[in-house]
Amino acid sequence: MKRIILFLIYLIIQIIWIPIAIIGLIIGLYKEMYLSRKLDISFSAGQALQYRWIMHMFDTRTDSNTIAFTKKFPCESHFGLWAVMGPFIIMHKLFGFKSTFNSKVDFGYETLQKIAGNRVLLFDRIIEKYIDKVDQIVLPGAGFDLITNKYTKDKDIKVYELDQVNTIKMKLDTLRKANIDHDWITYITVDYNNESWSDKLLESGFDKNKKTLFLWQSVSLYLDEELVIDSLKKMKQLGAQGSIIAQDFYSKAFLDGNISKMAIKNMDMIGKLGEPWKFALDMSDGSIESINNFLELCDLELNKNYQFGVNLGLENFYNISISLI
Ligand SMILES: C[S@@+](CC[C@H](N)C(=O)[O-])C[C@H]1O[C@@H](n2cnc3c(N)ncnc32)[C@H](O)[C@@H]1O
């Protein structure tokens, strides 16, 4: 009965809200799709910012910096997101109304819709686990992720974030406008396709003799396979003994649309906006075997692997892997 009443309240708010949602949607799409392309900012990085915004608003992950950042970020609209999701946010805050946005799933029980949230939470867990065991953290392809602002402030740790020139410039500009502390983080501009990110990292003060945590979240899928192999080999050469690499792997079946037509449509759209999906592993004989074989090509060994959806029989679509150097 309670659920029915709550649903009716939600329905009333949603109907009244329609004009606001339409305005928000138009503003949001203009900023996310048109402005990001015009300013040559990574659209996929903006999308990643968006689901961290959603996670904060629906109390599945606290990250007030992401909210402050989004308010000042030219390629996303805080109002637009609020306008589109407002009825759900109101219902969540007032009544704890269950929706897809505030429902958490345990690790191993991810459906396709739940990859993004659990991916962020798992990378949080990884940084929490290793933060006091390393001297440096490197994010090659940091985008608008503010994980290091959240976890490394007041820590005696060096942080290096790399990304393409316009994305880094806009990140810095937005951090300043949003008054988010970041002065202990070194931001490095690089285009992996034409420049050596490892040389740039070393030129910026990175110390090869120190233990490092490499966080490579949602980047390799946008790179050619040779570049992925080369980058992982470089991480191995750069990290002192005891260093850690955390990264994710998608399966070819996912990339080919065999797992979800919806997901592939979304990736097609991201491709049309300039970031085609290029790299995935053939996991048809099992993800662990395939990841092991691939890491061998990079002179690395798998230490721990998280198979998303494993308890739902979906283990061969998305994995997060840890290799120790
Ligand atoms: C999906 S975003 C992920 C960003 C961040 N790791 C996160 O989780 O929010 C992919 C990132 O890879 C970066 N990237 C893709 N190709 C690149 C290249 N050739 N050189 C430098 N960065 C690149 C993009 O600019 C973008 O920020």
Q: pLDDT below 70 — which residues of the chain?
A: 258-261, 263, 315
- Report pLDDT for 127: 97
- Report pLDDT for 266: 72
Q: What residues are paired with 216 via a beta bridge? A: 247
Give this prediction's pTM.
Answer: 0.93
Strand order, beta sheet including 212-216: 185-189, 158-163, 136-140, 212-216, 244-250, 318-324, 302-307
Task: Single out the residue of 248, 220, 266, 251 nearest to residue 314, CA to CA.
Answer: 251
Cα–Cα distance list, 312 to 20, 26, 109, 118 (Å): 38, 37, 6, 15
- Report pLDDT for 257: 73
186, containing H or E segment: strand 185-189
Task: Single out the residue of 167, 127, 170, 165 nearest to residue 149, CA to CA.
Answer: 127
Ligand 1 lining (C-beta closer than 6 Å): 42, 44-45, 48, 141-143, 145, 163-164, 167, 190-193, 217-219, 222
Instruction: Tell me the pLDDT tens digit for each residue of 134-152.
Output: 999 999 999 999 999 999 9
Q: Looking at residue 32, what DSSP letter applies?
A: I
Instruction: Tell me the pLDDT tens digit for each residue of 210-222.
Output: 999 999 999 999 9
- Best residue for ligand 1 mutational test, from 36, 219, 248 (most atoms within 8 Å of Cβ): 219
At how many degrees (to 10) do helices 43-57 and 115-130 cross? 80
- Report pLDDT for 224: 93
Ligand 1, closest atom to CA 215? Answer: 6
- Best residue for ligand 1 mutational test, from 42, 126, 145, 160 (most atoms within 8 Å of Cβ): 42
- Report pLDDT for 138: 98
Domains in the chain: ranges and CATH: 2-95 (no CATH), 112-324 (3.40.50.150)
Residue bearing tokens 């996991």: 283
Task: Single out the residue of 138, 171, 150 nearest to residue 39, CA to CA.
Answer: 171
Instruction: Classify residue 143 as exposed, middle or buried by CB count within 10 Å of its CB (0-12, 13-18, 19+).
Output: buried
- Report pLDDT for 259: 67
- Report pLDDT for 112: 80
Query: Rounded to whole angstroms, how far apart are CA atoms 45 and 319?
Result: 20
